[in-house]
């Protein structure tokens, strides 16, 4: 009887275990598809590179800053001040829809510096953006881009700290055929519209990639840069926060620098002067990032990679606003112009 009872007890226990262990279906992991933060940061940085490029036009004494002139039909005006005898110059916009399709108000202002505290190679002749020893402080006065007001700030978001731009050439006799012009840009800016705001803290290098091309930069160094044929790149580190106070860090290495080609404009504008006439087309002056890769982190989210040429497989960068954000091995196509 004891053997029978023991056997019965073991069977009962086995049955109880079997009944108690129910099968459960594993819960699928939630996909990480958040790309808006990376788009916001990219849009903010691009908007700054535009403002800095406006300053580059006037501080290099470029007489025809085509990109930012009023578009056909725009009621707005622009006021470039390029007085080479003054240390303070500016580029003003009066409710202007520009040739790049962007709407601007206010002004971008430059204060030229001849100060070894900013540039150890400073000298009284360093008065142009392209020159060895040049440096400047960049500020904004009620400047708005597509309704977003851009303001120079310190890292804590307090108004007033100018952005410093320094020419990186370390020798007055540098050779344009062998060395590309470059500038270090440091400072912080805030973009604000209604109740939304974004801030970026910059420590970046801007490079004129095709300095050696004589139709872009004259070997004599006596003429302004021909920006309409220029290719520039940006590398370095950008930190800050995007809308809704989401923190981010963007790292761009020199070998994967973000690239703008000023001969590339993705948007073609068509016009017909009269019924039945031939359609004429002109290129827009909107010049997006068309290449480069940034490593992007935000909050506690998984690190992203931002591809400005579409994807890792894009060998020839397209001339458009397209790109992709790589998260955990999955590419998410994005349009960087749509903020």
CA distances from 242 to 44, 51, 73, 128, 247 (A): 9, 19, 34, 34, 6
pLDDT above 80 (res 199):
yes
Residue-wise pLDDT tens digits, 132-157:
999 999 999 999 999 999 999 998 88
Tell me the mean pLDDT in the region 248-257. 97
Determine phi and psi for 307, rounding to 5 degrees: -105, 115
Mean of the per-residue pLDDT values for the chain? Answer: 85
Confidence of residue 315 (pLDDT cuts 50, 70, 90): low
The pTM is what?
0.85
Q: Which domain holds residue 182?
A: 34-263
Tell me if 190 is assigned to some domain: yes
- pLDDT, residue 271, reads 44
**For residues 197-216, b (16+ Cβ closer than 10 Å) or e, as one string?**
bbbbbbebbbbbbbbeeeeb
Residue 79 lies in a domain: yes
Quick one: residue 56, left, alpha or beta (phi over 0 = left, psi -120 to 50 = alpha)?
Answer: alpha
State how far the Cα of 29 lies from the Cα of 47, in Å rounded to an integer. Answer: 36
Given a cut of 70, whether residue 276 has pLDDT beyond it is no
At 22 the pLDDT is 58
In a domain, 145, yes or no: yes
| Residue 17 lies inside a defined structural domain of this protein | no
Residue 304 belongs to some domain of the structure? no
HSE-up (13 A, CA, CB side) for residue 188 = 17
What number is the average pLDDT over the span 27-41?
Answer: 80
The verdict on residue 289 lying in a domain is no
Residue 1 has pLDDT above 90, yes or no: no
User: What is the tally of structural domains in the chain?
Assistant: 1
Q: Is residue 56 part of a domain?
A: yes
Q: Is residue 11 part of a domain?
A: no
pLDDT by residue (tens digit) across 42-83?
999 999 999 999 999 999 987 667 788 898 888 899 998 877
Q: In this model, does residue 272 exceed pLDDT 50?
A: no
């Amino acid at each position: 009887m004891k053997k029978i009872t023991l056997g019965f007890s073991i069977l009962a226990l086995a049955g109880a275990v079997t009944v108690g262990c129910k099968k459960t279906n594993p819960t699928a992991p939630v996909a990480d598809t958040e790309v808006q933060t990376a788009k916001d940061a990219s849009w903010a940085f691009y908007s700054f590179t535009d403002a800095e490029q406006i300053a580059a036009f006037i501080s290099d004494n470029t007489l025809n800053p085509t990109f930012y002139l009023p578009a056909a039909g725009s009621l707005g005006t622009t006021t470039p001040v390029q007085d080479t005898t003054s240390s303070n110059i500016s580029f003003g916009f009066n409710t202007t829809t520009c040739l790049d399709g962007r709407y601007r108000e206010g002004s971008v202002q430059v204060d030229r510096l001849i100060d070894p505290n900013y540039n150890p190679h400073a000298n009284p002749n360093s008065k142009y953006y392209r020159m060895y020893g040049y440096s400047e402080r960049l500020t904004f006065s009620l400047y708005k881009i597509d309704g977003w007001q851009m303001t120079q700030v310190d890292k804590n978001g307090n108004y007033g700290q100018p952005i410093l731009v320094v020419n990186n050439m370390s020798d007055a006799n540098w050779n344009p055929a062998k060395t590309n012009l470059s500038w270090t840009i440091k400072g912080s800016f805030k973009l604000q519209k209604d109740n939304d705001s974004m801030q970026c803290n910059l420590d970046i290098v801007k490079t004129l990639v095709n300095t050696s091309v004589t139709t872009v930069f004259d070997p004599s160094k006596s003429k302004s840069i021909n920006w309409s044929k220029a290719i520039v790149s940006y590398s370095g580190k950008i930190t800050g926060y995007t809308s809704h106070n989401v923190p981010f860090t963007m790292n761009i290495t020199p070998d994967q620098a973000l690239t703008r080609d000023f001969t590339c404009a993705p948007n073609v504008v068509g016009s017909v002067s009269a019924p039945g006439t031939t359609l004429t087309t002109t290129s827009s002056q909107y010049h997006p990032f068309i290449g480069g890769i940034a490593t992007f982190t935000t909050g506690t989210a998984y690190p992203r990679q931002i591809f400005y040429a579409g994807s890792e497989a894009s060998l020839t960068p397209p001339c458009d606003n397209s790109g992709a954000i790589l998260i955990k091995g999955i590419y998410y196509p994005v349009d960087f112009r749509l903020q």
